Structure 1
Amino acid sequence: MNREEYEESQLFLRPRFSIDCQRNVSEVLETVINNLKETNHNFITKTSDSHVIIDVPQKDAHFWSPQLHFRVEEEQGITKIKGLFGPKPSVWTLFMFVHFFVATAFIGFAILFYVKNKLDENVVFPVVMLVVLPIVWFLLYFLGQIGKETGKNQMNDLKQFMYKVLENVN
């Protein structure tokens, strides 16, 4: 198995990886599913078509617990296992919604500043918000980094379990 991994960069909240395999997609999927059944583990696993989702055990889960999602696909005649580590979809959706809200509010306050400035009205509130909203955005970014750091041990556990599951793929 040729492992081409993207390092867990400090900038990425959702590290990705890609692994090349010699066997075809159906053989790899069959091996993965059999290994999931045979391996003694506490992880919560789900498979659907060519997708595999692995969650940390419910008793160890917390808000920042990561999830491993990978899929087996054929790309230019080569079977690839592509995946990513990240927060659960509900946490990711909430996080992205708050980012979208902050960005939209920033644009709205920029427009409000422009209009009030052109009308020679008081612009203190829009200016304050134009300063506060980028600070909120940076706080969200650092909150995400703290969450990533909080779930790092669980992410390493997921990674080790994934290698155990992919052990006999080639």
Structure 2
Amino acid sequence: MDANNEIRLRLRFYKEVDQNIDSLRQKFIHFTTTKSPDYFLKIKEYHIWINIKEPKKAYWSPHLHLEMESKGENQTHIRGLFGPDPGLWTFLMFLHFLIAGTFIIFCGIAYSDYVLKKPTASDFVVMAMMVFAWFLLYVIAKQIRSNGEKQMNEIEKTFLEIIES
């Protein structure tokens, strides 16, 4: 998967597998019992999360969420979603909402100042800074994804090995 050509920060993929959904799930359960030194899996029904264990984990380490759906007797559709650590993702979303909220508040203040014939330059400066901060957050998130690309490829390789075992 080429992560550099994607605008989205959370990469997605879809895979059709010619295996029964329950036997496929059993392969993931079997992988958890082998005690992989680098990964741990969380399995809840047909949702599977593959995470990197602590010695190799960094704040930018990705995880993979898989959702399996039966498409017949011996065919399974898998939707995969790579994402950053949930704590980091929550923090980035908090910053996005904070920036958006500040922008909206200063839009209202700028409108009020305009109606009251007061100067609006400082309001527009703050709004421009919020737009800059939003783009800066996007660049930071792209860098975090770039840092985790090697581990993302390793997780994908492990995922494919589990399916083919």
What TM-score results when the alignment is normalised by the length of structure 1?
0.87
Aligned partner of 1:66 among 62, 65, 69: 62
Q: Alignment partner of 2:164: what SS? A: coil
Aligned partner of 1:86 among 83, 86, 95: 83
Q: CA deviation at 1:89?
A: 1.4
Task: Write the letter of the residue equivalent to 1:149.
Answer: S
**Counterpart residue number, 2:149:** 152
Q: Which runs of 5+ in 2 are unaligned?
A: none
**Counterpart residue number, 1:11:** 7
Q: Alignment partner of 1:126: what SS? A: helix
Q: Alignment partner of 2:103: what SS? A: helix
RMSD: 1.9
**Counterpart residue number, 1:48:** 44
Q: Sequence identity of aligned pairs in percent? A: 28
**Counterpart residue number, 2:99:** 102
Contact 1:53–1:68 (8 Å) recurs in 2: yes
Q: Which runs of 5+ in 1 are unaligned?
A: 1-5
Q: CA deviation at 1:22?
A: 2.2
Contact 2:37–2:53 (8 Å) recurs in 1: no
Contact 2:16–2:78 (8 Å) recurs in 1: yes
What TM-score results when the alignment is normalised by the length of structure 2?
0.89
Q: CA deviation at 1:7?
A: 4.8
Contact 2:32–2:40 (8 Å) recurs in 1: no
Q: CA deviation at 1:39?
A: 7.1
Distance between the aligned counterparts of 1:55 and 1:88, measured in 2?
9
Distance between the aligned counterparts of 1:76 and 1:134, measured in 2?
48
Task: Write the letter of the residue equivalent to 2:79.
Answer: K
How has the CA–CA distance of structure 1 residues 39 and 164 changed in structure 2, closer, same or farther, with 3 Å as cutoff?
Answer: farther
Residues 68-106 of structure 1, C-alpha deviation per residue, up to 9 Å, x if partnerless? Answer: 111211257752111111101121111112111111211
How has the CA–CA distance of structure 1 residues 39 and 63 changed in structure 2, closer, same or farther, with 3 Å as cutoff?
Answer: closer
How many equivalent pairs are there?
163
